Amino acid sequence: MTEERDGLVVLVDENGEETEFEHLDTIEYNGNEYVVLLPVEQSEEENDIEEVVILRIEQNDDGEDSFVTVEDDDELEAVFEEFKVRLEEEFEFEE
């Protein structure tokens, strides 16, 4: 389950726990759309990204967007590399 509040995305896990993320980018790759999210506690540390969450955007049966975990490591890496290229001037990435 997801919810958006003022540029934040709130994900709710299977236990009903809410976690807030800052939406960094939406990327189109190989015919799919992906959302790149940064945990809010990390977004407070300026320009230093340690970890992002990448989820594929799919439409559910009601036609609404939902976020789906990406299981394929190669797919995740390719989307992350595209994200780094697009935002390399805004953020410092650990190698």
The span from the CA of 55 to the CA of 6, in Å, is 19
Q: What is the pLDDT of residues 46-95, one digit of tens each?
A: 555 678 899 999 988 888 888 999 999 999 999 999 988 887 766 666 65
Residue 80 lies in a domain: yes
Q: pTM of the predicted model, to two decimals?
A: 0.78
Asked if the structure places residue 50 within a domain, the reply is no
Q: Are 54 and 71 in contact (CB under 8 A)?
A: no
Residue 62 counted as domain residue? yes
47 occurs within a structural domain: no
Q: How many CA atoms lie within 13 A of 84 on its CB side?
A: 15
49 assigned to some structural domain: no
Q: How many structural domains are present in the chain?
A: 1
On whether residue 48 sits in a domain, the answer given is no
Residues 6+ apart with CB under 8 A from 38: 21, 22, 24, 49, 52, 53
What was the pLDDT predicted at 48? 58
Tens-place pLDDT, residues 32-42: 999 999 888 75
In a domain, 13, yes or no: yes
Any domain includes 3: no
Distance, CA of 29 to CA of 35 (rounded, Å): 11
Host domain of residue 72: 8-42+55-92
